[in-house]
């Protein structure tokens, strides 16, 4: 999705019009950037111009020097300081996201009376209205997703459930498969990092599937 958002698909109407867009997993519909940047927020906030919005107490963000913000989003030289700003630059440089700041909070940040840079963003449904022949999103519990909950409120958005193809909905010979689990319970990043060896290699056996019989 990061690459998708930075491409102007409207420049390729013949290409998109002849192709289906399949999206694996449900895209994020909202984003909240919140970093403690009391001294160096100006590296990106100087590129953020605010204008009044329809939401009381919030201003929309415009980026006049959009090429500079796009450069921060790409961060081609892998600058480690740039890594901090890259997620926000990616959203601000994309035509598919709309962003706001809370007026009082942002004014205090610029005045040096606050230390956190906060930006609220929503994905525009136009993200996928680029002339594709068909757009299919695949993801579990789709109607519980933030994307469905937010976009259902737009008059120009219609969700059509894909019909299940005829045929079996399970695999045969399941009794021939044995699952061996390396650790009990669900895996988390915290648990993974505790089990990781000092050389960066995993210190535990990977979960695997073994066929018990031919």
pLDDT in tens, 45-75: 999 999 999 999 999 999 999 999 999 999 9
Residues 147 and 180 in one domain: no
Does residue 158 belong to any structural domain of this protein?
A: no
Contact 60, 50 (CB under 8 A): yes
Name the CA radius of gyration of the chain, rounded: 23
Question: Whats the size of the chain, residue-wise?
Answer: 214
pLDDT at 205 over 80: no
> What is the dihedral angle through the alpha carbons of 139, 140, 141, 147, rounded to the nearest 10 degrees?
-20
Task: Examine the domain organization and report whether 141 and 194 are in the same domain.
Answer: no
Element (H, E) at 4: helix 2-5
pLDDT digits (tens, 9 = 90+) for 11-30: 999 999 999 999 999 999 99
Q: Does 166 fall in a domain?
A: no
- Predicted TM-score (pTM) of the model is 0.71
Domain that holds residue 188: 174-211
128 and 26 within one domain: yes
Q: Is the dihedral of CA 65, 69, 70, 76 positive or negative?
A: positive
Pair (110, 185) in one structural domain: no
Q: Is residue 47 part of a domain?
A: yes
> For residue 129, with 0-12 CB atoms within 10 Å meaning exposed, 13-18 middle and 19 or more buried, which class applies?
middle
Same domain, 57 and 16: yes
Number of domains making up the chain? 2
Residue 153 φ/ψ, nearest 5 degrees: -85, -5
Would you say residue 160 lies in a domain?
Answer: no
Q: What is the DSSP letter of 196?
A: B
Tens digit of pLDDT for each residue in 73-118?
Answer: 999 999 999 999 999 999 999 989 999 999 999 999 999 999 999 9
């Amino acid at each position: 999705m990061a690459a998708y958002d930075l491409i102007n698909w409207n420049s390729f109407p013949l290409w998109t019009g002849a192709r289906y867009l399949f999206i694996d997993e449900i895209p994020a519909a909202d984003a909240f950037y919140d970093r403690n940047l009391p001294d160096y927020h100006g590296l990106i906030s100087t590129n953020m111009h605010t204008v009044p919005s329809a939401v009381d107490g919030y201003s929309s963000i415009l980026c006049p020097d959009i090429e500079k913000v796009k450069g921060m989003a790409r961060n081609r030289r892998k600058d480690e300081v740039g890594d901090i700003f890259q997620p926000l630059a990616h959203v601000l440089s994309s035509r598919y996201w709309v962003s706001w700041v809370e007026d009082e909070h942002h004014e205090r940040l610029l005045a040096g009376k606050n230390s956190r840079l906060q930006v609220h963003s929503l994905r525009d449904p136009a993200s996928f209205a680029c002339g594709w022949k068909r757009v299919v999103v695949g993801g579990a519990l789709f109607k519980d997703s933030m994307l469905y909950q937010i976009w259902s409120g737009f008059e120009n958005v219609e969700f059509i459930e894909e019909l299940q193809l005829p045929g079996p909905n399970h695999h045969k010979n399941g009794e021939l498969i044995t699952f061996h689990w390396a650790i009990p319970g669900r895996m988390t990043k915290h648990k993974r990092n505790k089990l990781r060896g000092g050389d960066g290699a995993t210190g535990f056996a990977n979960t695997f599937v073994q066929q018990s019989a031919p």
